[in-house]
Chain A
Amino acid sequence: MKKQILLYSFALLAFFSAVAQPIKIKGSDTMLPLMQLEIEAYMKRNPVQLNVTGGGSGVGITSLLEGSVDIAMSSRELKMAEKLKFEEKGLKLSVLAIANDALSVIVNPQNPIKQLTREQMEDIFTGKITNWKDVGGDDMKIVVYTRESSSGTYEFMKDHVMSKKEFTKTAISSSATAAIVYATSQTKGAIGYVGIAYVEPIVKAISVSYDGGQKYIAPTFNNAFNKTYPITRPLFILYPLEKEKTVKPFIDFLFTVYGQKLVTHKGYIPLK
């Protein structure tokens, strides 16, 4: 009996050995692969522990608000409501863009459709148009894939492509971007939206027109880099100024030549 008590206490003590806290990063699923790569590279060079979790930009911002993470990743700007919430808590934030992204609308490679206007995309994603033939394609039911509401990409899509309207209820919700890519590649009538870094040859990214069909622009690296592609957005990291000392070295790393090289390497659009 005594031995067991000792064993238990030993185990508990081992647990209590307060090792230095890892830097916790949370948020945008769009930015997750980039962050993971940056963390890997950074930890190779520095004796610091960092960890990252996804869940969507909304999750990251909420966690930052509650103080459970040190850095949040967001693929959208803070909503005014969120800014005010941070104000209320007295949390001054630093918001930095570390990369750019071109929001790509993807369809199945077998889908003959290669381009759509913004209005067509709005009608498709809100459920007004339900068959590909109504936009010049085959007679096939449109299957909309979307992210969950926690996603910054979801919110960005709503604000900038769908005039703030809601997604159709029949849309299939995924909690992660990769699932959308995979599902779109497997489903003939599928349409989805993902960050450019996620576009693989197994899906087709269509060109979009924001001027009623006069000019269609493809989501290529160059078009995104010189901002001719209409759906480009910055990717942000946010951290509370009070945590600046802990996170600054890592943040600086993100802006070094090597850190920015990883941005391009992963398929994102660099800042300059």
Chain B
Amino acid sequence: MNKNSIEKLVFGFFSSVAFLIVAIVVVILGFIVYRGIGIISWEFISQPPKNGMMEGGILPAILGTLVLILGSCLLAFPIGILSGIYMNEYAPKNIFKKFIGMMTNNLAGIPSIVFGLFGLAMFVNFFQFGVSILSGCLTLAILIVPVIIRTTEESLKLVEDSYRLSSYALGASKFETVFRVVLPMAFPNIITGLILSIGRVAGETAPIIFTVAAYYLPEIVLSLSSPVMALPYHLYVMATSGIDLTKSRELAFGTALVLMVIVLILNFSAGGLKLYFKRK
């Protein structure tokens, strides 16, 4: 066995590992599609759960997730984008900037259950917002701000300095340069990051268990102080509770499929947008 045949063998092994991983992903997604597709119907998407979660649909969970996405993004997008602008355009490159960068990275790495604890302690209890849309959106917003900051920073970094310099040369102020020249150029990439963070919010369970999630609230109440159902939490309860797991299992698969589809659409559009703008 000379070294070249060893190389061929090893490389062959490596590629089979890579394909194994791909196969695993296909199996997981495929399984959920296979078991869940039979449940998906207009009724499933437009009806609330009935008869103790054994029949009906998941409309309130879908709406609840949409509300949570809307609320947390309204809060997180401005803060995240402005913070990213600060980091890349305004912050002097000193030890403070490094420190803030470190804090941002650490915030990104905090486990989601710790966010849930924090949300409970600060929003539900200390500020007395209770288990509500307000508490949930605030908690989720803090969760995704670091992600948005990072993508904003990176998008801004991609804009070449020559654009900034030319803008200054033409007499523009820093503000005008950032908001009229750099930001519009970085926007496509920023949007990609925003869409990815939406996907994150849609799928998170731990931060919302104690801050906003309801087991059964069939008609969504659009008040800041009301709890809501949400898709990831609904999947969890369908998988573990209810009356008869064998009956609600099918509905659980449907829920998983809907959640997966939403997340996948978001991720794919983010990826697709990235490619689209790259070509431009």
Contact = CB atoms under 8 A, between A and B. Distances in A.
Asked if the two chains touch in their complex, CB atoms less than 8 Å apart, one says yes
Interface in B31-51: 50-51
B52 A49 contact: no
Contacts of A66: 125
A113 interface: no
A198 B243 contact: yes
Nearest to B125: A66
B199 interface: no
B87 interface: no
Contacts of A29: 241
Contact of B241 (A18, A43, A177): A177
B103 interface: no
A171 interface: no
A53 B215 contact: yes
A53 B216 contact: yes
A178 B248 CA distance: 10
B215 A52 contact: yes
Contacts of A240: none
A20 B221 CA distance: 8
A247 B224 CA distance: 21
B241 A32 contact: yes
A102 interface: no
A179 interface: yes
Range for the number of chain B residues in contact with chain A = 35 or more
A172 interface: no
B114 interface: no
B222 A14 contact: yes
Given A51-B217, A177-B241, A200-B244, A17 B52 contact: no
B23 interface: no
A40 B217 contact: no
Give the secondary structure class of B's interface.
loop
A49 B52 CA distance: 17
Range for the number of chain A residues in contact with chain B = 35 or more
A238 interface: no
B214 interface: yes
A49 B237 contact: no
B175 to A, nearest CB: 12
A24 interface: yes
Contacts of B216: 36, 39, 51-53
Contacts of B52: 33, 36-37, 266
A8 B241 CA distance: 38
A22 interface: yes
B6 to A, nearest CB: 46
Contact of A182 (B222, B224, B245): B245
B219 A21 contact: no
A179 B213 contact: no
Interface in B205-243: 213-219, 221-227, 237, 240-243
Contacts of A200: 244, 246
B221 A49 contact: yes
B190 interface: no
Contacts of A178: 240-245, 248
Nearest to B48: A40
Contacts of A14: 222
Given A14-B222, A19-B222, A37-B52, A53 B243 contact: no
Interface in A6-36: 8, 11-12, 14-22, 24, 29, 32-33, 36
A103 B215 CA distance: 24
B71 interface: yes
19 contacts: A8-B74, A15-B224, A17-B222, A19-B221, A24-B227, A29-B241, A32-B241, A33-B52, A33-B243, A36-B216, A37-B51, A40-B51, A51-B215, A54-B237, A54-B241, A68-B124, A178-B241, A198-B243, A200-B246
Given A175-B240, A175-B241, 11 more contacts: A15-B223, A20-B221, A33-B242, A40-B51, A49-B217, A51-B216, A52-B214, A54-B215, A176-B237, A178-B245, A266-B52
Interface of B: 50-53, 70-71, 74, 124-125, 130-131, 133, 213-219, 221-227, 237, 240-246, 248
